[in-house]
Amino acid sequence: MISIILAVRKRAVPLLQVLVLLIAAWIVDTVWKMSGWPLLYGGMISVVNLLWLQWKLRRSERRRPLGEIEQDAALSARKITADVYMTAIERFLLVTLLLLLGLVKLDLDPKLIIIGFFTGQFVMLLSTGLLKGEKL
């Protein structure tokens, strides 16, 4: 099973995503003679999505450290579950709005936006496995 929890905890993963996306955009520009901006835009949506998740996790940990257990376990479980669902809804809306912005307002190539988004997501999943034992 692939888990993104390790990727969320490592600060180097968004940097790795950006590096791979810049290389991919350069390849699209030079080899395919197409604009690499839509691919870069789609990939940056993935990076923003991960950064949002990292920010929410750190904010949640500052409010409630993981080692701290509340007296009422049911209340604690409800709070954590509400945080998880709220973060999922926020991320879904964020990605949807950024995709719509790129497609409708900026009039970027839809195929390259989607390829860029999937590339960013794939790099995040791949880096989870590659960086598993490292402290970054």
Q: Can you give the three-state secondary structure of the chain, one letter per residue?
A: CCCCHHHHHCCHHHHHHHHHHHHHHHHHHHCCCCCCHHHHHHHHHHHHHHHHHHHHHHHHHHHCCCCCCCCCHHHHHHHHHHHHHHHHHHHHHHHHHHHHHHHHHCCCCHHHHHHHHHHHHHHHHHHHHHCCCCCC
Query: Does 135 map to a domain?
Result: no
Q: Is residue 136 part of a domain?
A: no
pLDDT at 95 over 90: yes
Q: Is the pLDDT of residue 136 over 50?
A: no
103 part of a folded domain:
yes
6-15, 61-70, 101-110, 112-121: the lowest-pLDDT one: 61-70
Q: Is residue 17 part of a domain?
A: yes
Number of domains in the chain: 1
Structural domain of 42? 5-130
Say if 29 falls within a structural domain: yes
Residue 69 inside a domain? The answer is yes
